[in-house]
Amino acid sequence: MADARITFDGNPACDVAGTVGPIDDFEDGDATPQWSVATTGPALAIEASGVVTLEPKANAIETTSAAYSSDSNFTIAGGRLFVEVVDATNETTDAFTRLRYGNGSAFVEIEQQAGTITARTKDGTLGSAPYDPALHAWWQLRESVGTVFGEVSVDGATWVILGSGPSPAFNNPRAILSAGTGASTATPGAAQFDNFNRCP
């Protein structure tokens, strides 16, 4: 419940009212019990030093990705989830950094790929902009009265709508943090996440 969430003092303008899903500062170095870890091809998923690092393998000959997926499914209806993106995959390549809510059949997500940040559902793009690591340091997915929103923030307190559209018919949805490539990439870089549903 929202009233059981904690607001931290680092940024008093930030609050966690209405958040759903896991709460994690990634300080314990352990994905369990809130997350499951999955990799495709040669990729790394490491939780250390207060961040989750998801690193697709450079020069892999196949698709490579790493993901943190919430262990439980939950509804986003009338709620929101957010995360701090400490670092994104290399903006000059096809490597992607992604925050997703949903599953394979229905989802809403925010993704950085090739220097563009995009909010989308499976039905199409909701909005996009040139990626700016400072302006887009926090990513949020929100639902209200049948509409989903992809939003970005400088500080985790003031949110700007990147895109919005009709809410998909979610089925057993989960929160997923991921990074990967769709083809061999020499320098994909890595994505780093912190403060899932937590203020800085």
Show me where the domains of the chain are located: 20-189
Among 2.60.40.10, 3.40.50.2300, 1.10.10.10, 2.60.120.200, what is the CATH number of 20-189? 2.60.120.200
Taking the chain (200 residues) in consecutive chunks of 10 residues, what is each chunk's mean pLDDT?
Answer: 36 83 96 94 93 90 89 96 97 95 94 97 97 98 97 96 97 96 86 95
- For 104-133, the pLDDT digits (tens) are 889 999 999 999 999 999 999 999 999 999
pLDDT of residue 8: 39
Helix (H, G, I), strand (E, B) or coil at 92: coil
Separation of alpha carbons 57 and 189, rounded Å: 9
- Angle subtended at Cα 125 by Cα 119 and Cα 129, rounded to the nearest 5 degrees: 55
